[in-house]
Chain A
Amino acid sequence: MKRLFLFLLLFAPSAAFAAEPKVNALNFPGPAWSPYLAGAGIGVLSWLTFYFADKAIGASSFYATVAGGLGRLFARRHTDSLDYYKENPPQLGWETVLVLATVAGAFISAFTGGEITGRWLPPFWVARFGEQSFLLHGALGFMGGILMAFGARFAGGCTSGHGISGTLQLNIGSWISVICFFLGGIAVAYPLYLL
């Protein structure tokens, strides 16, 4: 038993690396533009938002605002009594409009570039889990969303707010957070897709 454990500990990860991977993301469509061009554009965009709007780019608080707005619709007193919403009252503001416009901007980009997909299951997911995995994909997505919202709120931001806006300001907490985003992500994605 002890030997088996040791074997798994030592060889299972290396086997996962060495063996032909179950799925390979590189067999699926890549970016339309060079990632450096897109990234540099986002960098310039951050100058503009800092200068003109006195705001940083972020996305996750949009979902908290929607949740708070819905909460106030059904249970106003209770929602207003929660510490988070006392400190961050739901407001139709910067991040709400920014995220809604992000949907539109991506649509314009995909439409003009002929990349509109219009599907419920990504081909990469299908390559790993098959066509009959709609429920699993939905359930994992929903659960993942819940975990991600909790993590983003606790850590203070997401891949946009910490991962780009915070790191470019050399914010220590943002660098720690983004490293942990990827560590946590790799730790779950590896067994989920490659074992």
Chain B
Amino acid sequence: MSLLAHLKIVDGKQVARLKAAVFVAATAPFLLLALRGWNSWRGQPFSLGANPIEFITRDLGDRTLIFLMITLALTPLRRLTGWNWLIRMRRMLGLFAFFYASLHFVTYIWLDQFFDVRDIVKDVIKRPFITVGFLAFLCLVPLAVTSTNAMVRRLGGKRWQALHRLVYAIAILGVVHYWWLVKRDIREPLIYAAILTLLLGLRIYWNLQKRQNTTVTTTAAAQRV
């Protein structure tokens, strides 16, 4: 309990430490994947299995979705816990989502399709699950590019925020991408869909509540006049 209470008031030095810890944790999945790759190469256990490229693609796709969900969870979590520092992790975690998405994308282009442009174009046009995945990745790029403080200033807070609302669409496309890919067992995509519904639902709920409150206050104010 004391720890939870302590987490409410965090100074700059502690934020830096928390950031470092989150950075290490967020890099771990990549290092584990690299270790599996190394073990595959040496023929050791804890490897990439019989179909390494599929394993890598799935793993990186999973990480992308997880980091998207974590990034989207920070705002509601801050509101529920009062831990304001959470928001200072958001940019880094969002960039990790982009990092894993880029690796996922490169794996597809390089290891899976081996730069066969004709096949890739055909895939993107003809395969709905690839279409939405590709679209989601394209939308992520401007968010990553405009993630610096300088870009926030250049765009202006309002416009920057409007642009970064794209992340909601990206997350939905990402989950659809996974859903449309699986053959039959939709349990895992369903879990992502449920989490995303909760995260977006909370926002909608709070927004509606806020609007209602403003209406109530304005009516009350009007009545007083």
Task: Answer yes or no: are A and B bound together in one complex.
Answer: no
Residues of B whose CB lies within 8 Å of any CB of A are: none
